Amino acid sequence: MEAVKDIVAVLQVLLSLALILIVMAQTTKSEGLSGTIGGQVTSSFKGKPGMDEQIRKYTVYVSFTWFLVTVITAWLFNR
């Protein structure tokens, strides 16, 4: 049982680091006060997903996996 706890703890740390790196890799969408006053130009064309959309998708996957591993870790360590 201790080996399972160790594996889950290491997985938790690795997922945490991956989530931090993915969030840091994302570009910001807000332009501050200038974007609010002047408006923001957006394109309505939906083509092949770009890097921002792919990073956003990976962020969702990693964060969901991180949440599940966190619940499993809490359950294992509180038994």
> Rounded distance, CA 52 to CA 71, Å?
29
What is the percent of the chain where pLDDT is above 90?
59
Each residue's pLDDT tens digit, 38-63: 555 555 566 677 888 899 999 999 99
Of the pLDDT bands very low, low, confident and very high (cuts 50, 70, 90), residue 8 is: very high
- Give the three-class secondary structure for 29: coil
Which region, left, alpha or beta, applies to residue 26 given φ > 0 means left and ψ of -120 to 50 means alpha? beta
Cβ 22 vs Cβ 59: under 8 Å: yes
Question: What was the pLDDT predicted at 37?
Answer: 59
Hey, where are the domains in the chain? 1-25+51-79
Of the pLDDT bands very low, low, confident and very high (cuts 50, 70, 90), residue 35 is: low
Q: What is the 3-state secondary structure (H, E, C) of 30-55?
A: CCHHHHHHHCCCCCCCCCCCCHHHHH
Q: Which amino acid is at 71?
A: V
Residue 69 has pLDDT above 80, yes or no: yes
